[in-house]
Chains A and B, each alone.
Chain A
């Protein structure tokens, strides 16, 4: 039958990693369960203060073999708690991938048998949250030099959400036009869609007529 990583191995490794990073000042981590379809899977769910984020990232990369940055998400919470007006969510992974060895001048492909992986080769999934207090210039330390995969993720987060990354080299607009006005970041919550809800969009009998308020406006 199909070989997959046993959930027991993954949970044991996740617990070990969560306990290890919880010892860093300002970091709290636990093992949470995410479900997808029919099977649950363990995830290391952590919370870090902005000050200790950089140290945590370095530890994860050098000591725990977390070698892959999947996604960086910025969230704007204008009505959130006092120290959670902005949030940065990092989705990281441990893949355990090494370059295949070379024997007799030939590359030998690495065929991992998922059902027998153990120790630091076990694939793991991490989700780390960094909360930022109320400020007009939210920023958090960049991890661009640790995981190159975070490079464009950080650019996108700044472009769309407006969270800046200290120490990021070459920050620029990636999805929006280069001439976008400074300070305009569309995923901040004060910007609303023109037709925000479904009802706004289709509230007339025909369903496609423009709303009266739009008459004479250039769309």
Chain B
């Protein structure tokens, strides 16, 4: 049969955003793919060159609408490396709580979107129900629902509000119980199992060579995690293990990538609970904004020749910022900010993964890698 190119996107339920996947098909079988990105390229890297170090945080929040907090923290760690700031320990614990709650919210958004992708329509509302609890917690911390602008160079914007610890513990424990509901919804849904099992195989060594990390890699049966390999924050103080999935002989399929994210939500909830328990000074005390317990003094200028870089375990893989100091205003602004987006690197790999499968498998494979186009196009 003659081969032909068809274009999926930029508006297509499979894309989870705006991008095009050009697919070469032979009948129903995919024989070649080519992703085409850049539909919402905003030039964040260029804008950052004209903003000072505090202003950039808001732009980094807006890189990914499903996981804003992890992105602004990713930037803040690189900026602190550049400006040589030592962060108070209490601030590190508060950040860890914020990051892990955001990770749960991000995975819930993914789970809610992935169900309808492959025919299980009811999970969407179930996942958004719990995501709402996480958003409420983050709103208490940052003050807004999606883009929190929570971390500051040298600490955090605000301390935990009064009563936050109690509400967070109650909600996280409730959430840990409710994870079983999702598992029941997915694992007993025939349409989900049929469409996610046995498609989109990927092996760990291949994924590392392609630059794919995070949950997608751990689904392949290795426990690599930036949080222990290049430690930052206070993860060394807490008791945790990155979740690993036992994949099939051919590698991790879409079902493994779903399992590993569900397990990761459990680990994140436990991390947040532990951090609340171990918080220096106690989780029930409250300091005013700007208190040295939660915010260290930070210089505003980075002289020429200084650089800052930080690898960060984002909800979707390894995110990274590289900042060169010495921009305008005698280093008040960065000279160059470079952003590594995990999904920008994963999309070409995911597109390769679907070669050999049927056209109907494309949404299942693409969705399982958790694409977020906001961070991809920057």
Contact = CB atoms under 8 A, between A and B. Distances in A.
Interface residues of A, number: 64
A37 B246 contact: no
A39 B231 contact: yes
A4 B224 CA distance: 11
B235 A109 contact: no
A29 interface: no
A106 interface: yes
Interface stretch (A20-28, A50-58, A110-118, A132-140): A110-118
A34 B310 contact: yes
A173 interface: yes
Given A100-B222, A175-B41, A176-B38, A149 B232 contact: no
B5 interface: no
B204 A75 contact: no
A186 B46 contact: yes
Given A1-B238, A34-B310, A89-B322, A186 B228 contact: no
B209 interface: yes
Interface in B2-17: none
Interface stretch (B78-86, B118-126, B130-138): B78-86
Interface in A64-94: 67-71, 73, 75, 89, 91, 93
Contacts of B309: 34, 43, 91, 127
A203 to B, nearest CB: 14
Interface in A179-219: 186-187, 191, 193, 195-198
Given A149-B345, A197-B50, A38 B223 contact: no
B221 A71 contact: no
A87 to B, nearest CB: 9
B101 interface: no
Given A36-B80, A37-B80, A95-B208, 12 more contacts: A1-B239, A4-B228, A35-B84, A38-B234, A43-B309, A71-B340, A95-B229, A100-B247, A175-B38, A186-B46, A193-B47, A197-B50
A37 B77 CA distance: 6
Contacts of A99: 203-205, 220
Contacts of A127: 309
Interface string B59-92: 0000000000000000001001100101101001
A108 B221 CA distance: 7
Contacts, number: 193
B249 A97 contact: no
Most buried by A among B38, B229, B247: B229
A107 B221 CA distance: 8
Interface of A: 1-5, 34-39, 41, 43, 67-71, 73, 75, 89, 91, 93, 95-100, 102, 105-112, 114, 123, 125, 127, 147-153, 156, 160, 173-177, 186-187, 191, 193, 195-198
Contacts of B204: 97-100
B263 to A, nearest CB: 12
Q: Which 10 A-B pairs have the closest CB atoms?
A: A149-B211, A123-B229, A100-B221, A73-B338, A109-B221, A71-B340, A4-B231, A36-B232, A175-B38, A114-B228
17 contacts: A3-B228, A37-B232, A68-B208, A71-B320, A75-B336, A97-B204, A107-B246, A109-B246, A109-B247, A112-B222, A127-B309, A147-B209, A149-B212, A175-B37, A175-B41, A193-B46, A197-B50
B348 interface: yes
B235 A4 contact: yes
Interface in B301-324: 308-311, 318, 320, 322, 324
B377 interface: yes
Contacts of A197: 50, 328
A176 B208 CA distance: 27
B285 interface: no
A200 to B, nearest CB: 9
